[in-house]
Amino acid sequence: MSSDKNLVIIVEDEPDTAEMFAELLKLEGYRVKKAYGGTAGIDIVTKERPDAVLLDLMMPDVSGLEVLRYIRRDPNLENIPVVIVSGRPMPDEIKGDLENTATTYLMKPVGIEQLTQALTETMRKSGV
């Protein structure tokens, strides 16, 4: 189980979904902050430098793909584990990226066990 020191940032444009994920992760001992949309996500990830990011792909302002690319290009953020949670199949443009990074892809709907297992495993792969 996670320590209460692990900060996870949820980047999601749907407040109900973000709140549901946040409550589930808090029950598992994570500290959680939420960002509604890609621009807000980039801002909070840059400021907070969390232990992990839970990232939606489909957002109206900046896509989750762009947020992921931003994180992977920034030397201060590049090693942060990212769990992508999306209602759509994995886009071809990130399949290759997933092989060499601490990134996991989950399809919605996601259960708490699947979410926490993916988060734990992704963080373990990155050394968090």
Q: Tell whether 105 is covered by a domain.
A: yes
Q: Tell whether 2 is covered by a domain.
A: no
Q: Tell whether 113 is covered by a domain.
A: yes
Question: What one-character-per-residue DSSP string does 42-92 give?
Answer: HHHHHHH--SEEEE-S--SSS-HHHHHHHHHH-TTTTTS-EEEEESSPPPH
Determine the Cα–Cα distance for residues 49 and 110; give it in Å rounded to an integer.
25
pLDDT, position 99: 57
Helix (H, G, I), strand (E, B) or coil at 41: helix
pLDDT, position 5: 75
CATH number at residue 121: 3.40.50.2300
Q: Tell whether 91 is covered by a domain.
A: yes
pLDDT tens digit sequence for 44-76: 999 999 999 999 988 989 988 899 989 999 999
CB 80 within 8 A of CB 52: yes
Q: Tell whether 78 is covered by a domain.
A: yes
Mean pLDDT, consecutive 10-residue segments, the chain of 128 residues?
76 95 93 97 98 93 90 93 85 62 82 90 85
Q: Tell whether 111 is covered by a domain.
A: yes
Q: Tell whether 1 is covered by a domain.
A: no
- pTM of the predicted model, to two decimals? 0.89
pLDDT, position 50: 97
In the chain, how many domains are there?
1
Q: Residue 20: CB partners within 8 Å, gap ≥ 6?
A: none
